Amino acid sequence: MEIWNRHFECMDRNELRKVQGERLIETVERTYFNVPYYRHRMQELGIGPESIRSVEDITRLPFTTKQDLRDNYPYGLFAVPLSEIVRIHASSGTTGKPTVVGYTRNDIATWSEVMARTLTCAGADKNDFIQIAYGYGLFTGGLGLHYGGEKIGASVIPISGGNTLRQIQLMHDFGSTVLACTPSYALYLAEAIIESGISRDEFRLRVGVFGAEPWTDNMRREIEDKLRIKAIDIYGLSEVIGPGVASECLFQEGLHINEDHFYPEIIDPETLQVLPEGSTGELVFTTITKHGLPLIRYRTRDLTRLNYGRCKCGRTFVRMDKCVGRSDDMLIIRGVNLFPSQVESILLEMGGITPHYQLIVDRINNLDSLELKVEVDEAFFLDRISQLEGLRSKIQGTLESYLGLGIKVTLVEPKALERSEGKAKRVIDKREIQVLK
Ligand code: DLL
């Protein structure tokens, strides 16, 4: 089995710890001197760069959250002059303002390196044809896989997301061997291929690199059976770099974290204390080589567990379990991140409706669907049907353009939605992944 960067990926763990310590010290210095926000936070805690002498000292540092990125929107946490930034990506935030991330030329090189490792981990090399059906654009999926694919010398097919018939045609005609997309889209494609009636033997597809949303082992088996490929889980988040943070190897026993670039911790999301090895908790990352947007102890909100045992593949990097859920209410729908509060704040700005709403998420034919049920204002409800339809389509149009996601809007009578005595039940998620949590 090939390993892209044996020097780091198979490094003795004591040596790795030393490298992590050196890189952490540099990162803390850079953020302290270049990012006023971090300098103030550290000063408040009575610490400075001299307080950090090794990785053990990391617990003295403050946490960073998505809210901090939002408060410093768009470039406030960047640690280099903007002239050094060569790329901007973004993902949805909690109120419609996106979370903005910036990369220097050096960061793009780091990203390509970790993506080259990810693809090599999945068994890909320069002989492969990689069909990239993750979206290209502000989302990190498309371009992340793209740079990694080119780095390993594979033939990259930048088809981007959607247009299923074209995906199937090119997969067939171009002889794609690797498919990169979300697991739900992989399953959708799998069924569309079966329906197309083209014999599986006419395809050369061998492996898939799937991520950007939670998926279960059951779903993996289904994808593997239907597409007759090996389905590899890849994990990442825009704030940390994008895809390339962690990936499974062909043994599929946990995702190797690129620890020489991203230092992981598991904390209790309530007490914020670091949990003992092997516990399930919230994953926290400190980026130890990034220049554009270095983040200290970034709370991912993803729940998982770390396994420091040695993997059969020879890599020494710690493995994280498949993510089982989140410690906040963020939904991932067709790869798009969405917070119920985003919908709520948009609804509250519109007239004719009450703040009683429910989001219903489902997976129909392997594609996520999103429906909003919202109660119409008593006064409005007596109006003519044509007016109600006007209101409905205005809500739908506004939400779709804010969220970047298709949504079905249904208006219901005042008081039609069930009232709860405690917390309002705003989200009904019928997808398998939630049931298995
Ligand atoms: O989804 C980056 C990515 C692109 C990863 C392509 C893998 C493949 P964001 O849009 O910022 O970045 O969303 C990050 O998605 O905090 C997790 O909650 C979730 N997520 C990503 N990968 C996985 C995975 C990209 N393999 C958020 N399993 C993260 C479970 C995942 N959840």
Which structural domains are found in the chain, ordered by start? 1-327 (3.40.50.12780), 331-436 (3.30.300.30)
Closest CA relative to residue 290, chosen from 258, 249, 337? 258
Rounded distance, CA 166 to CA 177, Å? Answer: 16
In this structure, which residue's CA is closest to atom 1 in ligand 1? 212
* d(C-alpha 125, C-alpha 142), whole Å: 18
Residue among 70, 182, 237, 322 whose CB has most ligand 1 atoms within 8 A, to mutate: 237
Atom nearest to 330 CA in ligand 1: 18
Given a cut of 60, whether residue 434 has pLDDT beyond it is: no
394-421 per-position pLDDT tens digit:
999 999 988 889 999 999 998 899 876 6
Q: Which atom of ligand 1 is nearest to the CA of 326?
A: 18
Specify the DSSP class assigned to residue 370.
Answer: E
- Residue 95: its pLDDT value, please? 59
Ligand 1 centroid – CA 245 distance (Å): 10
Residue 140 Cβ contacting ligand 1 at under 6 Å: yes
Pairing of strands 99-104, 129-132: unpaired
Determine if ligand 1 sits within 6 Å of the CB of residue 184. Answer: no
Is residue 141 in contact with ligand 1, taking CB distance under 6 Å?
Answer: yes
Q: Whose CA is nearest to atom 29 of ligand 1?
A: 237
Average pLDDT on 302-326 reads 95
Cβ neighbours for 221, distance < 8 A, ≥ 6 positions apart:
none
Pull the structure tokens for residue 232. 């590899």
* In contact, 91 and 301? CB cutoff 8 Å: no
Looking at residue 322, what DSSP letter applies? P
At residue 344, the pLDDT reads: 84
Quote the ligand 1 centre to 378 CA distance (angstroms): 41
Q: Ligand 1 centre from 336 Cα, in Å?
A: 10
Position 355 pLDDT exceeds 80: no
Using pLDDT thresholds of 50, 70 and 90, give the confidence band for residue 94: low
Number of the ligand 1 atom closest to the C-alpha atom of 245: 5
Closest CA to 323 of 357, 282, 293, 360: 282
Ligand 1, from 119, 121, 140, 333: best to mutate by most atoms within 8 Å of Cβ?
Answer: 140
Give the mean model confidence (pLDDT) for residues 268-293: 97
The verdict on the CB of residue 302 being under 6 Å from ligand 1 is: yes
Q: pTM score, two decimals?
A: 0.90
Cβ(118) – ligand 1 distance below 6 Å: no
Q: CB of 149 closer than 6 A to ligand 1?
A: no
Closest CA to 243 of 230, 258, 253: 258
Q: pLDDT tens for residues 61-81?
A: 999 999 999 999 999 999 999
